Amino acid sequence: MIRILFLFVLFAPLTLWADESEKVDAGTLLFAMSQAMHEVNYKGTFTYRRADQMQGIEITHGVKGQREFERMVTLNGPAREIVRDDENVRCEFQHDDPFMVEQSGYPHPFAFSDPAQLNQIEQFYKISGDKSAPIAGFDNRKITLMPKDNYRYGYRFWIATDAPHLLLRSEMVTGSGVILEQMLFTSLKIMESPPDALDTAVQLKQTPSNNISSKSGSFDWHVTQLPPGYRRETERFSSMVTGDNHRQKVEHHLYSDGFSSVSLFIELINTKQEDFHPVASQMGAVSLVSYLVGEHKIVVVGEVPLATAELIAHSIKRVGKH
Amino acid sequence: MKLVTNNSQPAHYSKQDSTQISSMVDGELTPTEMSEQITPLLSGGREREQWQHYHLVRDLLQHQLPDNINPNFTQNVMKRLESEPTVLAPAGRGRAVVKQIVGVGLAASVAAVALLTSYNLNVPNDSQADQMVADAQLNQKTLKKVEHWERDPKLEQWNKSPNLDQFSPYLANHAAYSAGTGNQGFMPYARVVGYSSGK
């Protein structure tokens, strides 16, 4: 018994040190990954799986000057393509008109700028690191963030251990470990110069007719109750072509805890309550709630548990005039 | 299973090529169509590469990511062992008992291997299970602090399978802004590309 106590006293500090070291390692890798995904030129193919659906997607990412470009295109199933740069995201889907989303000009309070920010994340996620088998020829480390409550999902990131620390595989999981969505690179090539960056830039200049742009105005709605750790990242107005196929001014709020995020959209529509079909749906990692409040359509969408989307959707209050 | 690393200039596939290769892997082509497609596949570097991708993907789905372990796995192994012909001699009560013990042990071992294998993919071990219980208890405390809202029973009646394409602009806007955090890499955009109603 004395021996056991002796061994415990001897090794307990080492265990604590190991945990702390592991935390620092996880934080450093997460930080490096979030930087690398924006700064490195690469091209590859990955699989994206959610529920019973899976798609192969080709990704091309490049940085030219200070400008970031990216293109993703599906390799199977319905043709879908996204081309983006620092300012815009152009979406082109097989059965829909192309549209563009403006994403520039707002602060990113949760973006990692220092590994120490992990302490903030750790209030709501249990973080651990582990060794893993090579992926697409890259040695890597698996970083796991498991949620400490029911308002967010967990994440597993397989990050290359060698610079530039690209994300090789990721999973979004429930608190009990069930996989909701998965991304896995099957091939990946890091390049010295930006691949096809000029082609991408040319495509982005072809602005679709139903462009979406931010507009100023006073915000009429606010959320009275948010899950712990979530805070409002941004609020803005957009002119969106929505499901009714007409351009509509939409109030958009984004809430996030740094990893999980959820958006709230509010728009005035000309639909009677009896003709509107409310939605409360969970599709893989994404939850979607849509219903009518008077003449306003409320849409909450995000990669959060349905309870989080429902809580936000049903705790909104109108504060403005009208 | 060997993972494919692309060290050459990445290929550009036409949508037609992708569809054909996908169909071949999924076994959707007739033998004649298969014969017509397989010749260029074996000689073309790009097609061969995509063939490997699709097989990797299929293997991933079929073998590498089991959602559950078959609960009857141990019983099935036992049943199989019992149906095996006896080849050892001499026969006797002792051997039957030994066979039973070995059978139980073997089935348990195989089940343990399955469990350990599955742990790497999905299933938690004991210490993780303990942690999950602890986390669940924490969840309850957390929920009590913030939860003043009870789920409206009417939500059960709401549409659970909407046409996703109707919500693409919302999803794209959400992705564009949530990606600003940068903490998930390109995943928010992959979600927009990957989500489809499949119509």
Asked if B10 and A195 come within 8 Å (Cβ–Cβ), the reply is: yes
pLDDT value of position A103: 58
Q: Which helix (H) or strand (E) holds A55?
A: strand A53-64
Sequence-ordered list of residues with C-beta below 8 angstroms from that of A194, at least 6 positions apart, any chain: A41, A62, A63, A64, A69
Query: What are the tens digits of pLDDT across the range A193-242?
Result: 887 655 655 555 555 444 444 445 567 788 888 898 888 887 888 777 66
Q: What is the mean pLDDT of chain B?
A: 52
- What is the chain B residue with the closest CA to A310? B151
A259 CB near a chain B CB, below 8 Å?
yes
> Alpha carbon of B88 to those of B92, B97, B100, B101, B109: distances in Å?
10, 13, 14, 15, 22
ipTM of model: 0.74
Q: Considering CB atoms only, which of B5, B178, B182 is closest to A112?
A: B182
- What is the chain A residue with the closest CA to B150? A311
Contact A27, A37 (CB under 8 A): no
Cis peptide before B90 (omega within 30 of 0): yes
Distance from CA of B1 to the nearest CA of A (A): 11
A238 CB near a chain B CB, below 8 Å?
yes
B175 CB near a chain A CB, below 8 Å?
yes
Q: What is the DSSP string of A131-176?
A: EEEEETTEEEEEEEEEESSTTS-EEEEEEESSTT--EEEEEEE-TT
pLDDT value of position B189: 76
Distance from CA of A3 to the nearest CA of B (A): 24
- Greater confidence, A79 or B69? A79
Cis peptide before A78 (omega within 30 of 0): no
Residue B41 pLDDT exceeds 60: no
B194 CB near a chain A CB, below 8 Å?
yes
Distance from CA of A65 to the nearest CA of B (A): 19
Percent of chain A with pLDDT over 70: 75
A225 CB near a chain B CB, below 8 Å?
yes
Structure tokens at A71: 């293109």
- Selection from A293, A263, A261, A266 nearest residue A278 by Cα: A293
Q: What is the DSSP string of B76-96?
A: HHHHHHHHSPP--SS--HHHH
Band of pLDDT at residue B69, cut at 50, 70 and 90: very low
Residue B162 pLDDT exceeds 90: no
B92 CB near a chain A CB, below 8 Å?
no
Q: Which helix (H) or strand (E) holds A313?
A: helix A306-313
Instruction: Please identify among residues 24-43 of chain B the ones whose CB lies closer than 8 Å to any CB of chain A.
Output: none
Instruction: Please identify among residues 148-207 of chain A the ones whose CB lies closer than 8 Å to any CB of chain B.
Output: 148-150, 155, 167, 170, 175-179, 181-184, 186-189, 195
Band of pLDDT at residue B67, cut at 50, 70 and 90: very low
**Which amino acid would we find at residue A304?**
V
pLDDT value of position A314: 87
Query: What are the tens digits of pLDDT across the range B53-65?
Result: 555 555 444 434 3
Residue B43 pLDDT exceeds 90: no
- What is the chain B residue with the closest CA to A243? B166
Q: How far apart are CA B49 and CA A278, in angstroms?
A: 45
Query: Which range has the worst mean pLDDT, A174-178, B28-32, B41-45?
Result: B41-45
pLDDT in tens, chain A (322 residues): 555 555 444 444 444 444 555 555 788 888 888 888 888 999 999 998 887 788 899 999 888 877 888 888 889 887 888 888 777 777 777 666 666 666 554 444 445 666 666 777 888 999 899 888 999 889 999 999 999 999 999 999 999 999 899 999 999 999 999 998 899 999 999 998 887 655 655 555 555 444 444 445 567 788 888 898 888 887 888 777 666 666 778 888 989 888 888 999 999 888 777 788 888 988 878 899 999 988 889 999 999 999 999 999 988 888 765 4
Give the Cβ contact number of residue B101 at 10 Å.
10
Structure tokens at A118: 């992990």
